[in-house]
């Protein structure tokens, strides 16, 4: 289950991040960010499994694609900000 | 038809360009404006083309901005760097896309001139013009009138030493010669998508190594809650719905070029150029040529108006362009103003038979014109 939301403010860095994750075979989905997480208006989210967050963070840091925010979707459907 | 007007646009494209455009029309919605499959497909297609262009020009995808043409890109670059009264050094070969924009901005323009095909002389002339310090330097890579190649890499180094913003118009070189914004130290490089890159008309690229000011304002599918345009590229320059079918075609053109050997393409064009110039010279026509030249050749037929000569070629099924080529400054520099020239321009897909057909027609037109002038 993809329960981590890596938020990016525009589509091109989100696509670049997605391409980078694809290159190492890390499963994820690129989608428009839930409205409640897109504080500045429209944004994009890479959703991935919590256990993959460390690998994704390391890779996207190397690729210089910092997140606007990272959220964890909790079992009750709410979001908890876990970074940055 | 023998099509030799590739400096205006490449008419012959790889077949996959039209296929990609048709597919985009049938399957792609608005990129970045929805999460459904058709919008995602459009977004993926736009990103793929952006990433291909980034690979082609050795940049990051975010530095590649889609424009409608090279003119739009040059407008963005110039409007970012130039204010009324700014001193701007330009080559004396620039297109109206540069000169009219600078006139509209109220810039103090310093055109640099040198013998057309003497790259060292161009560089020396530019260096002399960099004192007093200008606010920006603009230079095309290849003249759209004469095909001469300007020393943009060395000029970029001069600008970098002096920390001067440098803009390059790569309209006639992108897809043919290496275009390397990083190596040139260029702030901006503008180009059309529909010439050497083999994409469709209505496409262009602005490669950004500096932060640009937007020319268009509006929706970008990002930062929607704020009134200001986003700071991030490419969103900052891409307000409004993108030309997705055009971008699809441009992506197919770039893919085609990436599958070819640039050396082979250049050698083929150089051979055709050599044959063209030699053939025109054998006919006794006035030809502009030199050591560093791409497949753009200007020539004149003595005693004949260039537009009438181009009409005569068109009547024989040969597409050329005559006149001032939207570059009156270049004609002043080359000594061909106001008469203009007839311009032949090759591309990667031109064939030897095109050149032979053209030369045959040139001989006929020259001979007919000689007879006309001989009649008392």
Query: Which of B154, B99, B166, B92 is CA-nearest to residue B123?
Result: B154
Token pair belonging to B180: 């390397």
- Given an 8 Å threshold on Cβ–Cβ distance, is B235 in contact with A16? no
Q: Which of B51, B230, B232 has its CB closest to that of A19?
A: B51
B175 min Cα distance to partner chain A (Å): 24
Per-residue pLDDT 10s for chain B (376 aa) are 999 999 999 999 999 999 999 999 999 999 987 789 999 999 999 999 999 999 999 999 999 999 999 999 999 999 999 999 999 999 999 999 999 999 999 999 999 999 999 999 999 999 999 999 999 999 999 999 999 999 999 999 999 999 999 999 999 999 999 999 999 999 999 999 999 999 999 999 999 999 999 999 999 988 888 999 999 999 999 999 999 999 999 999 999 999 998 889 999 999 999 999 999 999 999 999 999 999 999 999 988 899 999 999 999 999 999 999 999 999 999 999 999 999 999 998 899 999 999 999 999 999 988 776 665 5
- Given an 8 Å threshold on Cβ–Cβ distance, is A31 in contact with B35? yes
Who's near B101: CB < 8 A, 6+ residues apart? B74, B75, B78, B79
Contacts of residue A19 in chain B, CB cutoff 8 Å?
A: 47, 51
- Given an 8 Å threshold on Cβ–Cβ distance, is B222 in contact with A42? yes
pLDDT tens sequence across A33-79: 888 888 777 889 999 999 999 999 999 999 999 999 999 999 998 99
- Given an 8 Å threshold on Cβ–Cβ distance, is A39 in contact with B225? yes
- Name the residue of chain B whose CA is nearest to A43's CA: B222
In whole numbers, what is the pLDDT of chain A averaged over residues?
92
- Given an 8 Å threshold on Cβ–Cβ distance, is A10 in contact with B60? no
B261-374: CATH class:
alpha beta
Contacts of residue A41 in chain B, CB cutoff 8 Å?
A: 222-226
Residue B376: the pLDDT is 57
- Given an 8 Å threshold on Cβ–Cβ distance, is B221 in contact with A9? no
B339 min Cα distance to partner chain A (Å): 48
CA distances from B29 to B42, B241, B245 (A): 6, 10, 10
Q: Which of A30, A31, A40 has its CB closest to that of B223?
A: A40
Interface of B with A (CB under 8 A): 31-32, 34-35, 40, 43-44, 47, 50-51, 60-62, 220-226, 230, 232-235
Mutate to test the interface with B, among A7, A9, A11, A60 (most CBs of B within 10 A): A11
Contacts of residue B62 in chain A, CB cutoff 8 Å?
A: 12-13, 16
Instruction: Please give the Cα distance from B350 to B174 (Å, whole number).
Output: 17
Q: In what order do the strands lie in the sheet with A79-83?
A: A28-32, A44-48, A4-8, A69-73, A79-83
Count CA atoms closer than 13 A to B369's CA, side-chain side: 21
**Predicted TM-score (pTM) of this structure:** 0.93
Tokens 């020239």 identify what position? B341
Contacts of residue A15 in chain B, CB cutoff 8 Å?
A: 43-44, 47, 51, 61
Question: What was the ipTM of the complex prediction?
Answer: 0.79
Instruction: Please give the Cα distance from B152 to B167 (Å, whole number).
Output: 10
Helix (H) or strand (E) holding B190: strand B188-192
Mutate to test the interface with A, among B29, B30, B32, B244 (most CBs of A within 10 A): B32
Q: Which of B32, B224, B226 has its CB closest to that of A11?
A: B32
For chain B, which residues make up each domain, given as ranges? Answer: 261-374
A4-83: CATH class:
alpha beta
């Amino acid at each position: 289950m993809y329960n981590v939301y890596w938020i990016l403010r525009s589509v091109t860095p989100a696509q670049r991040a997605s391409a980078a994750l694809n290159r190492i075979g890390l499963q994820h989905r690129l989608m428009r960010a839930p409205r409640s997480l897109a504080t500045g208006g429209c944004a994009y989210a890479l959703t991935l499994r919590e256990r993959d967050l460390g690998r994704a963070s390391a890779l996207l840091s190397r690729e210089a694609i910092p997140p606007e925010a990272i959220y964890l979707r909790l079992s009750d459907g709410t979001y908890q900000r876990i970074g940055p | 038809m023998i099509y030799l007007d590739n400096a205006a646009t490449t008419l012959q494209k790889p077949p996959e360009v039209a296929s990609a455009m048709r597919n985009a029309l049938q399957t792609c919605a608005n990129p970045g404006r929805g999460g459904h499959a058709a919008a995602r497909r459009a977004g993926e297609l736009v990103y793929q083309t952006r990433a291909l262009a980034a690979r082609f020009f050795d940049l990051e995808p975010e530095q590649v901005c889609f424009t409608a043409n090279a003119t739009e890109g040059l407008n963005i670059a110039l409007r970012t760097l130039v204010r009324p009264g700014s001193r701007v050094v330009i080559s004396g070969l620039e297109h109206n896309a540069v000169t009219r924009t600078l006139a509209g901005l109220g810039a103090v323009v310093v055109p640099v001139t040198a013998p057309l095909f003497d790259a060292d002389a161009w560089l020396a002339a530019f260096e002399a013009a960099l004192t007093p310090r200008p606010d920006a330097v603009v230079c095309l890579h290849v003249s759209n009138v004469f095909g001469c190649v300007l020393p943009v890499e060395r000029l970029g180094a001069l600008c970098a030493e002096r920390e001067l913003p440098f803009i390059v118009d790569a309209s006639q070189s992108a897809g043919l010669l290496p275009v390397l914004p990083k190596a040139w130290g260029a702030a901006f490089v503008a180009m059309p998508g529909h010439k050497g890159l083999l994409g469709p008309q209505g496409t262009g690229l602005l490669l950004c190594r500096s932060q640009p000011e937007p020319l268009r304002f509006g929706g970008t599918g990002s930062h929607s809650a704020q009134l200001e345009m986003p700071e991030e590229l490419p969103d900052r320059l891409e307000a409004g719905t993108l030309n997705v079918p055009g971008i699809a075609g441009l992506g197919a053109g770039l893919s085609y070029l990436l599958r070819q050997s640039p050396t082979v393409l250049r050698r083929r064009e150089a051979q055709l150029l050599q044959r063209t110039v030699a053939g025109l010279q054998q006919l006794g026509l006035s030809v502009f040529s030199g050591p560093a030249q791409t497949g753009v050749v200007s020539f004149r037929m003595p005693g004949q108006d260039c537009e009438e000569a181009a009409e005569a070629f068109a009547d024989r099924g040969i597409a050329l362009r005559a006149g001032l080529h939207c570059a009156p400054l270049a004609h002043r520099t080359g000594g061909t103003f106001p008469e203009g020239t007839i311009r032949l321009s090759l591309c990667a897909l031109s064939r030897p038979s095109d050149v032979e057909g053209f030369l045959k027609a040139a001989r006929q037109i020259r001979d007919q014109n000689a007879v006309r002038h001989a009649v008392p």
